[in-house]
Amino acid sequence: MENIELGGNISLLNLPESILDCILKRLSPIELIRMSQVCSCLRDKCGSDPMWEDHIKQKWGRVIGKVTYKEWQWHITTAKEGRNLFNQQMNQNGSLGSFSGTWPMLYLGSYLQDSQHLNSSLSNHFMMTLYFNLENGNFWFPAQVYRGVLVRDALVRYDSKTDTFQARQQNGGWHVMGNNIQWDYLRAPPVANPPCDRYISDCLEDLKPGDHIEIQWKLKTDIPYDWWYAVIGHMDSCNENENHCRCRYSETLIVEFKQYSQRSSMARIKVLRNGEQCEDRTGYYGGIRKLHSEEEIERWKKLLLPHQTPVYI
């Protein structure tokens, strides 16, 4: 390491490992790549997962979750072992996966547009390859997109030129949901639940009036669920006095959708506390997720303002 020196004859590699790691972690992704080209020792260190974990969290932490990491692990393993998605031949363009057919089998599904480069030594650097496949839009990953009064599962990819996302939804085939989707309208899936499956709630016994929730809803039985924001309300027979309210012990939950007027059929519905799917004249209701985070609740309130309704091209 003769060409990189600090203060005379002290080589960068002569520094204690903890100090060297501290220096490297301060580099940007592009700077890390440049540093990795200096020598084999720095190549391995600059491409290691610890060097890229913070970069992944800082840029992508809001929109990717555990499911994305599992999907990427599957693609990496597939490339290493020389297999291809669903035991079929690799597409002519080198992709792993397809937008044809039904929802992909793996968790919420993903789509790697070009997998040929993973057959190289890059497949040994999990976080680094994930970062750049996200950055260049090569990896369509599972996320959820805010669409006014609901959140919908989708596959999305990043467009670095516009700093926005494109999303596809599964509805009788993979269709474009929207382009130029801003960061604020994406989130990582909060639960690892396939969108066509009813979520098994773990909060039903504790729900009480005033609790903020998200509830699954779909118009027909053969399509994926969406997630809708709502608030638990009081029973019609309750006078809403805390000293006499028995709503939290009722077998029926009142779900109020504040985004609708009181005259709307969607404003107030009843679901069973035992978690069974509820069929209503407006559609089918599934599992409930209680919102504990004030940040999540405030985000919904902001998005439900009329002037905040997202517009996609």
Task: Yes or no: say if 289 and 190 are a contact pair by the CB < 8 Å rule.
Answer: yes
pLDDT grade for 307, boundaries at 50, 70 and 90: low
Q: What is the mean pLDDT of residues 3-8?
A: 48
pLDDT-derived band at 101 (thresholds 50, 70, 90) equals very low
| More confident: 6 or 208 | 208
For 105-145, the pLDDT digits (tens) are 444 478 887 777 776 566 678 999 999 999 999 999 999 99
DSSP string, 230-283: EEEE--TT----TTT--GGG-SEEEEE-TTS-TTSTTSEEEEETT---EEETTE
Using CA of residue 178, residue 64, residue 115, residue 54, what is the dihedral sign? positive
The residue with greater pLDDT, 78 or 7, is 78
**Looking at residue 121, what is its pLDDT?**
61
pLDDT of residue 97: 56
pTM for the whole structure: 0.81
pLDDT value of position 231: 95
Calpha distance 269→280 (Å, rounded):
8
Q: What does the pLDDT look like over 251-286, one tens digit per residue?
A: 999 999 988 888 887 888 898 888 877 777 778 999
| 40-84 pLDDT tens trace | 777 888 888 888 999 999 999 999 999 899 889 888 887 777 654
Average pLDDT on 1-22 reads: 64
Exposed (0-12), middle (13-18) or buried (19+): which is 123, by Cβ within 10 Å? middle
How many other CB atoms are there within 10 angstroms of residue 171's CB atom? 12
Alpha-carbon span 102 to 105, nearest angstrom: 9
pLDDT at 131: 95
Of 196, 201, 159, the residue nearest 181 (C-alpha): 159
- What per-residue confidence (pLDDT) applies to 238? 87
Residue 2 has pLDDT above 60, yes or no: no
Residue 211, both tokens:
């609790």
pLDDT of residue 310 exceeding 70, the answer is no
- Cβ of 54: how many Cβ atoms within 10 Å? 13
Cα dist from 92 to 97, 144, 284, whole Å: 12, 30, 41
- Render 109-133 in DSSP notation, one character per residue: --EES--GGGGSGGGG-HHHHHHHH
User: And the tokens for 27?
Assistant: 């580099």
- Structure tokens, 205: 């016994």
240 within 8 A of 209, measured Cβ to Cβ: yes
To which residue do tokens 């035991």 refer? Answer: 87
> DSSP letter string over 26-39?
TS-HHHHHHHHTS-
**CA-closest candidate to residue 34, choices 17, 48, 21, 47:** 47
pLDDT per residue as tens digits for the range 178-237: 999 999 999 999 998 888 889 999 999 999 999 999 999 998 888 889 999 999 999 888
Q: What would the mean pLDDT of 158-169 be, rounded to a whole number?
A: 94
Confidence at residue 306, expressed as pLDDT on a 0 to 100 scale: 66
Exposed / middle / buried, residue 58 (Cβ in 10 Å: 0-12, 13-18, 19+): exposed
The whole-angstrom separation of Cα 230 and Cα 273 is: 15
Q: Which amino acid is at 127?
A: M
- Tokens read off for 76: 């990496």
Specify the DSSP class assigned to residue 52: H
